[in-house]
Structures are given as C-alpha cells and as structure tokens.
Structure 1
Amino acid sequence: MATDAGPSSEKITSNVTSTPVDGASTPTTTTNMPSLKDDADTNGTPAAKDGLFARVSTFFGDWFYFWEVLGLVLSAAAIVSICIVVGYFDEKPPPVWSTNINIPTRETQSVSLTINSLLAILATLGSTCAMIPVTKGLGQLKYVWFIQQDRKLADLEMFDSASRGVLGSAQLVWKLRLKHLAVFGGLASLLVLAYGPFVQNLIFINIEYHPSNETSQISYVSEISHANASGILASGAPTRYMIASALSDDSDEWVVPPHNCPTGECDWEGYYTLAACTRCTDISDRLTRKCTPYKEAGIDPENGEFPASGGCEVSLPNGLSTFNIDVPTYDPAYNPGRNIMVMNTTLEPFIYTDLKGHFVTVQIILGLDPNQPASSFANNTRQLSRYRITEDSPLIARECAIIPCVQNQSFFLTSKPDSSILEPEIDVLREWTNFKWDPLAGQALVDFPGGNITYDDQTAAQRLLSHYPYFGGDWYRDIRDWLGLHLTAFTFGNSPEQTDWAMTVTRSRLPEGQDYDSTLASIMNNTHTGRWRNSYCLLADNSTRPDVECGMHKLAAGITNAMRTAAWEVPRNARKIAEGQSYSPQQICHAQWQYISAPVVVWILALVLFIGVVVKTRRAKIKAWRTSPLATLLLRLDPDSREHLKDWQRMGDAELRETAEQLKLRLKVDGDEPPRFVKE
C-alpha cells in the first residue's frame, strides 16, 4: 500500500476460488471478499450488536447439545407440573383464578384462568420443548445417514422434511420401517399431535352432589286421634288416594312423604315415625279344593236360560270359601265357580289370635291361571285374560294383620338429571310392633322405645316419639271401619258375553252404590302378573315380598303416608319435622392418569433419540450441525457427482428429486479436506 494506515485500517480478506461446475481446466480468479468480522469496531473492540445475547449464544454454542438438554429438562418439568396440578385437584372442585384489569375508557374487566387453560399452557410448553431434541436430532442424523454408506441423494430431503413437520415424519417412519434410530424421532413427531388432547383429558369434570348447608325437612307422626281436626278421615280423599296409588304400583311418587328438599337431593337417615305395619303367614296348606263339572249359561240347547253352574270351590277350615261370600251385594244368580279371589275380615283368625287393638286381620284365598304365568307379563302391557279356578290352578292363602307400630326409616330422594321425576329410595331399618290396647282411652299404644334403645339414642334420633306414641279417637275407629269394608270382598271373572267389561269385577261390603273398589282388584292383578314394584316390598335379603303379602304391605304403607300427609298439612309452626341432609350439585375433578401416557412416551422417544444422536455423532467424528442450512450449503459434491447435476438449474422439483433418487453418494470426512459428498 502507498500509505501507512496503521493497525486500525487493516482489512482481513479471504481468497475464494471460482471453478466451473463442469470441472474444466480454466484459469482461476481470486477475489478479495470482506470477512464477517469486518463489522468489528476499527479499534479492535466488538461491535455494538455483539452484546450479551450474542456472547451467551456463543458460549452455549460451544457446548454442542445445550439446547437439546434444556428442551428435555423443561419438557420433563412440564410433565411433572401437569401431574402435580392434576393430582392436587383430583376429587376437588375445579379452581378458577381470576383478577380484574382496568382498561382506560372502559369498565373493569375480569380475566380468569381455568384449570384446563393451565393444563393447555403446560401441554404447549412440554410438547414444544420435547420437540427441540427431536427436530435437531433428525437434522443431525441426515449427516450420519450418509457417512455410514452410499445413500440416495434424495434421502437428504427426506430427513430434512422429517425435521420440519408431521408429513415428513410419517414418510420417514414408513421408509425406514423401524430399522434406524431416526424412527424414534419420526414417531415422536407423530405422537406429539396427541400431547395436548391427552393432557386435556387428564382431568374429567363431573357433576356430583355434596353436602350443603341448607336444611331438609320431612314429616313424621307421633300420635294421631282427631280425624276431623287433621282432615284425614280414613274414608276421606287423602287415604283413598294414598292407598290406591300404592296398590296400583305404576309409579314411585306415592312413596314420597311430605318433605322440603331445597336442592333436589336429600337424605334422611334414621328418623322415627308412627306407622301401620303388616304381619303375614302362609296358610296355603290349610286349603281344600272341591271341583264339579263347570257349565256356562246357555250351553245346553234344551235349557239355554239356566245359570252357569259347577266349578271349583276353594275353602279354609274357618268357613272362608270362594263359594261362601260375606258381601251384601252378592247376587246368588252369579255362579260362584267364577270367583277367583276372596278376602274376609270377620272370621276367626288362625295365626294372629291374641291381637287386641290392631287395625284388621284378613284371610285371603287366590287362585291363579296356570296358562298365564307371571313370566308372560314381563316387560309388556298385556292385560290378564278372563279365567276361572280349575283342578290344576295354583292356590295361594295368606293370613295378614295390619297393626300399629313405630318404624325407623331411612329415606333418600334424588332428581333425575334430565327431568323433574323424583327417584325415592326408602328403607325400613327397624320396626317396633309391641302395642297394647287401652280400653278406657280407646287407644292403641306402641311400646317405644322399650328396653332396646337408650335415651342417648333417642337424642340422636331427634327425640322422636318419646312419650308413648298412639293411635286413637276418631281416626283409629275410622281406619278400622274402612279396612273392614274394603277387605271383606271377592273378585270374579266376567261371563263370556260381557266383553266390554274389565276382566274381573270386585264386590265388597261397601254401601249400595259404592260396591266397586279397586283395592282387591289391584292386589289380585299385580300378584298374578308379577308386576309389584320394589318400593316397600324388599326383604332384608333384597328379595321381593311374595304375592299378596306385597300388596298388604303396600296397603299399610299407603295408610302411613296418609297419616304423614295430615301431619304436614297444618300450620308450619305446628308441624312435626325431622331434619336431614341436603346435597347440592358441584363440579368435581377426577384424574384419568392413563392419559399421561402420550406426554411420557413423547419425552422418552426424545430422550432415546438424543442419546443415540450423541453416540452416532461421536462415532462419525463430525460436529453437531443439526438443522443448520449453512452446513448443508457448504457441503461439496465431487466432480463426478457434479457432472450428473450440471444442468440442475433447468430441472423442476419432481425432475430434480428423480435425478437425486438415481445418485448414490457418501459423506466423506477425512484429513484436512472439508466434508464432501463423493460417489464411490
């Protein structure tokens, strides 16, 4: 140079040799190009842009795998955080983190973060960090792939595509068929699609009922005597409705006693109430059957007007018989051979002979039709067809007593989520049936609590019925009369010409003009068809009470609910109320740990890929170039390979890929020569 510019004016240059692609021997030209370091300060100090970030990047870049390790650590931390969040809120209400932000010229806005949003953030962090070693590892493996042996030049694009997206990863997995380490990276790239959805499914939020602070109330009865005062004459509408509903047995609504359940789901455990109970004994072994030829009216052409005659008479030793009917409205013109059921409350009992002060003792005889078994009525609305008792008809006889008692009940009430229909579940935990008759007071007293329960137990049970619960007065006499009228009755099948009538007709001791009653017909039909529902009919072993016994039990339950209705329909301050527990709906989180599998598998695949890449890179004795486009750009082709690609600038994408498929190269790294693709 002509002048001495000093150290500050020196320029570092590099010589670039330009050689034609065809490799012909031509003169070379040398051009001085400025180095990347020309931007340094002329005083020898780093330029302003080489700040803290550049120095930190250079420091970590000297250690080849810092970013991969950081990605694995952060991804593992995200998985652990996800597990901590899910485990902490398992079986708990979902949290809502909210805050208020002030926006100028606008009202204060509330911003909230839900648990699903938090999991989504952690899932995004975890999946993104897990893909750092995957993408960089796939980028590094393309160089290792060519070092091992001759490969198609097109494989370079396959590895590069796999490090960039799902489609390339799928192509890589299909091409390598689990025969190379790179398959782990391809699988991780595919499975990462399930990372977020699986994390979201780790928490399942369900609506559950949990105890609330609202009080639930249910009615109970400790004594009942003044019928007119309570409005519950046994012959009145409340009792008739309750008993008819219980015996029709087509729904569970009649089971629900008067109550106040503010949340729709309530539980009353262990409360006491005055009730009507039943005792039944099978006396079928005392039955006798006597059959004569049966003739329908008008069968004989010569005597077409004679009444039907013959049939089977079923009787008990005390005189109760299907042919001997103690009902004033019984018409002797009817052939008693058509009678299929009879009940009586006036004859001497066989079993319950020492009862005094009970409501009623009833004997029941019922003949069934062997051609219409209960199984034929299952799951359909088929009606019972007309029949009569024959020599092969199954017979049932029971003696039942309805008596005063105290019941310890448990009652649970819930509403179906999709409707307003109530689902009651009632269980009689215990019964006290020791009662005595006080003739002076005209009352039936129940011995409660007796010697089997302490005063403390009564306190826990809200001290219910602590002073001699009893039935008496108008109500007691009225219920006895009502039962006597309705349960002394019979049922018979219609004659063939009465096709427009029901299958059976019932006659009871009701006054003239009130001679039809559904009580007996309901017991007979539900017993024969086996359509008794479980309410009030379950025994201790969860079996259903048999035949007419279930009907008598439901009849007593209807009486009990009628009493409780009367006890509720009074001024609020005069009600007798048992308190229970109410339950309110709450959202509850439930962990589904099987869905942690996708994040864990992705992390394991990334870890295996990273370790394999480190090992293979060291064995190949190359640097960690990863996905750097500069490393790929600076790789050279040997002269023979360049000859195949000398016109590549005139080829389209498909033609270039086809040419690369035919060209097999190996990445050669030896001596002081730079890495290059060679054709061997």
Structure 2
Amino acid sequence: MAAIVGVLFFYDGKELPQWNLGITLNGFVSVFSNIAKASLLLPTAEALGQHRWNWFSKESRSLMDFEVLDAASRGPWGSLLLLLRAAQVRGLTLASIGAAIILLCLPLDLFFQQIIVYPNVWVEVASPATIPRAITYSVVAGQYTQNNQTLGNADVIMSQVVQPFFYLNGTTPNLNVHCPTSNCTWDPFETLAVCSACDSRISQELEFGCVTGSGDWLTDVSDYYNKTSFPNITQCGYFLNLTSDNPVLMTGYVVDPISSAIGDVLETRLFPLVDAITRERYYQGSYAFKDVVDPILDFLIVGTPGGLEAIHRNETPVAHECVLTWCTQTIHSSFLWGKLSQNVSATFLNDTKREFPFTFGEDAADYIYNANISLTPPEQHLSPIPKSGGQPPNITFGVDNTTALQTIFLTDTIAPSFITIPSSAGGSQVKIDTVDAIGAHVRPLAKNLWLPPYGNTTHYVERIAETMTNTIRNSPAVDGSLVTVTGTAWDMRTHVKVRWAWVILPLVLLVFSLVFLIITVARSSREVETVGIWKTSAIAILFNGLDDDARKNVTPNCRMGEARTKARQLRVRLVPE
C-alpha cells in the first residue's frame, strides 16, 4: 500500500507515464492493491482464528460459537454471521472488529481503481505560435488610373480584397496565423489597423420633396467628371440640402413631369463628404465625426429598406454617416480548433487637430496629400525592453502620405456609388467606380447588404474595416519582413490526477487491522500457557476434541442439522489437560 501511495504521489499532476512492456498505471495499482488486500486479510484471519481459542478459555460458551468464529476467519460470509452473532452476544466485540475488516475488504478493488482519473490537460509545447501585426504600412508597387492619368504605386493587394465589398460580394481574408497545435494563445499586443464608426444623426438633415435636379445617379450616366453633362430630371424622394441650389437625392425616383409616371428608382446612395474628384468638403468634411483626424473615408449611406414598393410609398429611409480611419488596436488573440478569435480591448486614434491635408495647385484636380499618419498609443504591450533597463519605449505606428493617399483613392471606388432599379430592368443594379475616367461599372445586384433585411450598415462597414486591417497585418514591412507576435502553443496531453479521498478506506483498514493484530498478539502472549498459539489451525481439536460427556450428546452418525441444534444447546470451555 505504501508503494501505491508513493507512486501515485510522484505522478500526481504529471503526464501519464509510458512504462516498458506496456504496463499501465492502472495495471500497477491493480497488482499491488491485490497484494495489499491479500496481505491485509491473512493476519486478520489468523488473528480472528486465535480469538476462537481465547473465547472459550474464560468460561463455558455455546459450542455453536466455535463454528461461527471459525467461519469468520475463512471469509466474508462467516464474518457477516459473526457480526450478526455479536449483536446478540456482547462479548464478541473484539472479534467483530476483525470480521468488519474482512467485510470491508470486499470493495477495496473499487476504491483503488477510483483513486486515479486521467483528465486531458493543455500543456505548453516548445514550438511557438505566430500571428502578424503591423507597425507601418506601405503600398505594393503597381499602376492605377486616376483623373485620366496612369500613376504608379497603386495598392494592388488591398484593392483585390477590398473592392469586392464595394460590389457587395467581398470576403474577409484570414490572417497568416501559424499555430503548430490546435490551441494557441497570444499576450495582448498593439497593431496598426483601420477602425470604423457609424452614426445615424444625419437622418435629421434629410427632407422629402419633388424637385428638378441633377440626375447623376441614373444608370446610363457614365461621365462623372463632366458634371455639366448630368441630365436635369424631376425626382421625388429624400434629399440632402433640399432648399439649396444643389439638392442631392439620396433615395427616391424619377417622375415624368407630364404623365406623372414613375421611372428609374434610386434605392441606396453612398455619398462622400469629401468629393472624390475636387476634394470639396460638405459639412466641413464630416457631420458627426469632426473629431476624427485625417479619415480615410467619411461618407453617407442612405437607402430605403423594402425595395421598389417601399420607395414608391415614400417610406422613411435608413441613413448613416460612417467613417474609416487609421488607428491602433489592442488585440487579445487565441486560436482553438481551427478558429481564430480576436477581441479588440482598446483603440487609439490621433486626436491632434491640423489643417485639411490636401494642398491644391492651379487645377482643382491637381493636389498633394500632406498627412503622414503617426500613432503612438500611451499604453502599449510587447514593446522591446531596452538592454540598459528601465521602461520600454513606446512604438510609433504609421503610414506615409503616399500610402495614405493610395488608400483614399481605393475608397473613392465606393463613394460615390449608387444602387438603382432602372424602369427598363428587372431588378437592382449597383453602379460603382464612378470616378474612373474610363466610365462607371454597372452590375446586377441580388441582395443589398447595406440595408435590412439582408444586411446592416454598421456591420458591413465593420467588415470592410476588418478586411483592410487583416490585409495591412498580412503585408510585409518596408524591408520585406513580416512582423509577427510570438505566442504559446498548447497541446492536449493526458495527465494523472489522484483523488486522495478514495485512499481513506484502504488506509483506515490498514490501521485497524494493525491495531487488531497487535491487540490479539498481546492477549495471546498473556494466555500462551493456557491456550497456546493455534490461530486458524484445527489440529488442536483433532488431537483433543470434546470430553466424553460432551460427545455423548451427539451420536457419531448424526446429521448436520441435528449436530447444529445440539451445538447451540451445548456449552463448552477450553481447559488445559
């Protein structure tokens, strides 16, 4: 039993051992528990057998007690009979302890096997996990067309993953995470990111009316640069700046001034608060987010849920102002069973006010973007610790003005854009890339993910921001290296857990059997001259047996039942010759 306790104490809380010859920990416990059980029963049975002689040495007893004590020393059934007998004869108390020990040894195997359980535990492995982060961001060299000019340094990778969202069929790319196991965790860290926010207060600026104005949203209008070419049409719906000289229809429909027939319908409009061509500002560049410095895009999304019939009924539209801007995010990341979970616990935006970042030349379309994005969060994680000691310096995250401008050019694709329902077509269409000199792109649209019931404006803008953030983090730094954060990989291993409460019964039986044995030895030592040390042996009876008077009560060929009856009636005592 000491070997079992010692081995279990050594392996408690450790990984399941792999022993030679395929022997398991349960096998070891099983073998030694059976040895312990047998070693426990043997001296208990022998001591109980000795009590058979001691019982008859004091005074005359029922001869049946001899069989009861003898049966108790030979197994559980006899021990049970002895305990039942002890309830009637108070003098069998000490022998009852031995009988109880034998009975309680029956469930010992169960208790030994219940001692050990094998929980699966996540343990750290040597191979590290990595997840990308971004300190700075620069565009990938390429070409793009803007203002009828072929320019370089277009952000090709960002365009490939973000532009599909503008056609309402985008997919957020996965981060290049390396996790050598099925479970990895990372300490919190900061990364350069794109943050988003939406506000619905712009709704109060919308007014319903029917006016004659610019039909820039019509599907067949493709020359967005030449604003004087937009047709004048009579249109009804919800306008921005309705009473100004240039009201902007946000959602509504064309009305024939003669027949009052309804023509093309504008279901949703995405309107930039900084013009994509002239960089003219509306509401000083923002209505609800004036505190956001150097936004990538600040735009309105206004549309009428419910489709064509709802627009014809002039139902109130859903209006949001949303902004995309550079920021840093504090990320808590984990990877479990193939799924990456990221929790943004904090964000940091530059709140230092400065002049409008565009500087214009003689031509309104000839401008320079002056803003170099610089972000230094006051509280940071994973900052390098200086060799000289002291507090680690704060990292400055940033985007150069060239890259920032390319990102703005990319979002010019989405705002301005329109979702329309032409009277000549059978369904909705999305018109995008309106600032492209080649001409706007028009595609059929199955679902409008900007509006209910198929989508949600705030959530969709968040998806665009997440896509841009993942692209930035997956992109290499200026020197071509990928900035990563090292985390911990965990592997599930089987450990040994010892439930020490199940050891109580074996230890209690061990102590009681020892006490029972010591008391029996002490008593037998005092009575050795009168009784002798016979234990469970029957030789003393064979050599001596009952006297003549006792034998006359039972005939030689009597049956067992008759002999038992006589034994209950006959009282005997052990006496020396």
Q: Same fold (TM over 0.5)?
A: yes
**Pair 1:663 & 2:570 matched:** no
**Pair 1:211 & 2:118 matched:** no
**Pair 1:516 & 2:482 matched:** no
1:358 corresponds to: 295
For residues 116 and 174 of structure 1, what CA distance do their matches in structure 2 show? Answer: 36
1:126 corresponds to: 36
CA offsets 1:327-373 (integer angstroms, 9 cap, x no match): xxxx955889xx7x88654575431135453222345679999xxxx
- Residues 520-539 of structure 1: matches in 2 within 5 Å? 520-521=448-449, 524-525=452-453
Aligned CA distance change for structure 1 residues 402 and 669 (closer, same or farther; 3 Å) = same
**Pair 1:277 & 2:168 matched:** no
Aligned CA distance change for structure 1 residues 668 and 451 (closer, same or farther; 3 Å) = closer
Deviates more, 1:280-289 or 1:344-353: 280-289
Query: C-alpha displacement at 1:388, in angstroms?
Result: 6.7
CA offsets 1:475-494 (integer angstroms, 9 cap, x no match): 513531344367x6599xxx
Query: C-alpha displacement at 1:405, in angstroms?
Result: 1.4
Query: C-alpha displacement at 1:223, in angstroms?
Result: 0.3
**Pair 1:236 & 2:160 matched:** yes
Aligned CA distance change for structure 1 residues 426 and 454 (closer, same or farther; 3 Å) = closer
- Gapped runs of 5+ residues in structure 1? 1-74, 99-110, 248-253, 291-312, 370-384, 416-421, 492-497, 528-546, 674-680
For residues 623 and 386 of structure 1, what CA distance do their matches in structure 2 show? Answer: 112
For residues 329 and 576 of structure 2, what CA distance do their matches in structure 1 show? Answer: 101
Check whether the contact 1:234–1:478 (CA below 8 A) recurs between aligned residues.
Answer: no
Q: Secondary structure at the match of 2:534?
A: coil
Deviates more, 1:140-149 or 1:627-636: 140-149
For residues 259 and 475 of structure 1, what CA distance do their matches in structure 2 show? Answer: 27
2:365 corresponds to: none
1:410 partner letter: H
Q: Secondary structure at the match of 2:125?
A: strand
Aligned CA distance change for structure 1 residues 660 and 412 (closer, same or farther; 3 Å) = same
1:136 corresponds to: 46
Query: C-alpha displacement at 1:664, in angstroms?
Result: 0.9
Q: Which has the higher contact order (CA 8 A, sep 6+)?
A: 2
Aligned CA distance change for structure 1 residues 351 and 631 (closer, same or farther; 3 Å) = farther
- Residues 63-462 of structure 1: matches in 2 within 5 Å? 78=2, 81-96=3-18, 111=21, 115-143=25-53, 150-151=61-62, 153=64, 156-170=66-80, 172=82, 181=93, 182-221=95-134, 222-226=136-140, 228=142, 232-237=156-161, 240=164, 256-281=174-199, 283=201, 286=204, 323-324=251-252, 332=262, 345-346=272-273, 348=283, 349-355=286-292, 357-363=294-300, 398-415=320-337, 422-434=338-350, 439=358, 442=369, 445-449=372-376, 457=384
Aligned CA distance change for structure 1 residues 471 and 267 (closer, same or farther; 3 Å) = farther
Query: C-alpha displacement at 1:261, in angstroms?
Result: 1.8
**2:473 counterpart (550, 564, 589):** 564
1:430 partner letter: A
Q: Secondary structure at the match of 1:578?
A: strand
Check whether the contact 1:280–1:549 (CA below 8 A) recurs between aligned residues.
Answer: yes
Aligned CA distance change for structure 1 residues 386 and 428 (closer, same or farther; 3 Å) = same
2:220 corresponds to: none
2:568 partner letter: K
Q: Tell me how large the CA RMSD over aligned residues is.
A: 5.3
For residues 14 and 474 of structure 2, what CA distance do their matches in structure 1 show? Answer: 40
1:163 partner letter: S
1:377 corresponds to: none
Query: C-alpha displacement at 1:522, in angstroms?
Result: 7.3
Check whether the contact 2:44–2:513 (CA below 8 A) recurs between aligned residues.
Answer: yes
Q: Secondary structure at the match of 1:521?
A: coil
**Pair 1:629 & 2:538 matched:** yes
Percentage identity across aligned positions? 17
Instruction: Tell me the matched-pair count.
Output: 489
For residues 164 and 245 of structure 1, what CA distance do their matches in structure 2 show? Answer: 83
CA offsets 1:53-74 (integer angstroms, 9 cap, x no match): xxxxxxxxxxxxxxxxxxxxxx
2:499 corresponds to: 592
CA offsets 1:629-663 (integer angstroms, 9 cap, x no match): 22343452354653454244x75xxxx25641553
1:428 partner letter: V
For residues 618 and 263 of structure 1, what CA distance do their matches in structure 2 show? Answer: 68
Aligned CA distance change for structure 1 residues 618 and 453 (closer, same or farther; 3 Å) = closer
1:484 corresponds to: 415
Q: Secondary structure at the match of 1:524?
A: coil
Task: Give the TM-score normalised by structure 1.
Answer: 0.56
- Residues 13-24 of structure 1: matches in 2 within 5 Å? none
For residues 182 and 531 of structure 2, what CA distance do their matches in structure 1 show? Answer: 73
For residues 124 and 225 of structure 1, what CA distance do their matches in structure 2 show? Answer: 74
1:468 partner letter: G
**1:575 counterpart (476, 482, 492):** 482
Aligned CA distance change for structure 1 residues 190 and 442 (closer, same or farther; 3 Å) = farther
Aligned CA distance change for structure 1 residues 624 and 639 (closer, same or farther; 3 Å) = same
For residues 265 and 562 of structure 2, what CA distance do their matches in structure 1 show? Answer: 104
Q: Secondary structure at the match of 2:375?
A: coil
1:553 partner letter: E
2:139 partner letter: S
Q: Secondary structure at the match of 2:443?
A: coil
1:468 corresponds to: 398
Q: Secondary structure at the match of 2:501?
A: helix
For residues 532 and 309 of structure 2, what CA distance do their matches in structure 1 show? Answer: 99
For residues 569 and 240 of structure 2, what CA distance do their matches in structure 1 show? Answer: 109
Aligned CA distance change for structure 1 residues 476 and 159 (closer, same or farther; 3 Å) = same
Aligned CA distance change for structure 1 residues 159 and 272 (closer, same or farther; 3 Å) = same
Q: Secondary structure at the match of 1:603?
A: helix
CA offsets 1:454-502 (integer angstroms, 9 cap, x no match): 996577999996563447447513531344367x6599xxxxxx9xx9x
Task: Give the TM-score normalised by structure 2.
Answer: 0.65
Aligned CA distance change for structure 1 residues 288 and 454 (closer, same or farther; 3 Å) = closer
**Pair 1:603 & 2:475 matched:** no
Check whether the contact 1:166–1:190 (CA below 8 A) recurs between aligned residues.
Answer: yes
For residues 522 and 145 of structure 1, what CA distance do their matches in structure 2 show? Answer: 97
Q: Secondary structure at the match of 1:663?
A: helix
For residues 325 and 276 of structure 1, what CA distance do their matches in structure 2 show? Answer: 35
Check whether the contact 2:383–2:394 (CA below 8 A) recurs between aligned residues.
Answer: no
Aligned CA distance change for structure 1 residues 551 and 637 (closer, same or farther; 3 Å) = farther
- Gapped runs of 5+ residues in structure 2? 143-152, 209-236, 255-260, 274-281, 360-367, 434-439
CA offsets 1:420-448 (integer angstroms, 9 cap, x no match): xx132212243222178854764764323
